[in-house]
A = this chain, B = another copy of it.
Amino acid sequence: MSVSHASVHPVVEEVATTDGGGGGEQNGVVAIPRVRMKDIQGMPGTAGGLSLRVSQFIFAAVAIYMMASTNDFPSVTAFCYLVAAASLQTLWSFSLAITDVYALLVGRSLQNYRVVSLFTIGDGVTSTLTFAAACASAGITVLIDNDLESCDQNHCVQFETATGMAFICWFTTVPSFLLNFWSLASR
């Protein structure tokens, strides 16, 4: 009877480490590394993730403000597109920042498969649009500044600052996208 008990015991332990199920002392010990592995700083629902969202929001907002401070940006399609893409980015980042604040306040993990899929697709789309807008604006500003050398007739400083802000905004969206995609693939 004691032999049977000893050989059944490892089976329960094996199930507890792979599924995270079971109860009592074993579950308490197993739960800590699971949370650490899944909630890398920068993922949704972490302080790192919230700081990334806030950075994205700030840089996108500054890009819009700098572009809108010139009166002739609507004459160039790429600059209008930058404003549109940065606006979408601010809305998306603001929404996810609110979600992160909520998750941090109530201590809830956002590592649900559907939620992470949605965040990954959203981050992929917004970061691609922001990067495309930044590159298109960079092409135009380099054309005006270096190729045509007509900065005295244009608001080069504002255009270049807005483009730079859009690039920095993209740099802060890429970690969000890659971490979400990694989290999606590694489950």
Contact = CB atoms under 8 A, between A and B. Distances in A.
Given A10-B11, A18-B18, A146 B4 contact: no
Contact of A7 (B4, B139, B184): B4
Nearest to A15: B14
Nearest to A8: B7
A132 interface: yes
A106 interface: no
A142 interface: yes
A2 to B, nearest CB: 11
A30 interface: no
Interface stretch (A44-52, A57-65, A75-83, A110-118): A75-83
Interface string A136-174: 111110110011000000000000000000000000000
Interface in A1-26: 3-4, 7-8, 10-11, 14, 18
Interface of A: 3-4, 7-8, 10-11, 14, 18, 75-78, 128, 131-140, 142-143, 146-147, 178, 181-182, 184-186
A147 B11 contact: no
A135 B186 CA distance: 32
Nearest to A185: B185
26 contacts: A3-B4, A4-B4, A7-B7, A7-B8, A7-B11, A11-B14, A14-B18, A76-B147, A77-B139, A77-B142, A77-B143, A78-B139, A78-B142, A128-B131, A132-B135, A132-B138, A133-B135, A134-B135, A136-B138, A136-B139, A140-B140, A143-B143, A181-B181, A181-B182, A181-B185, A184-B185
A147 B77 contact: yes
A139 B147 contact: no
Name, among A134, A136, A140, A185, the residue most crowded by chain B CB atoms within 10 Å (CB to CB). Answer: A136
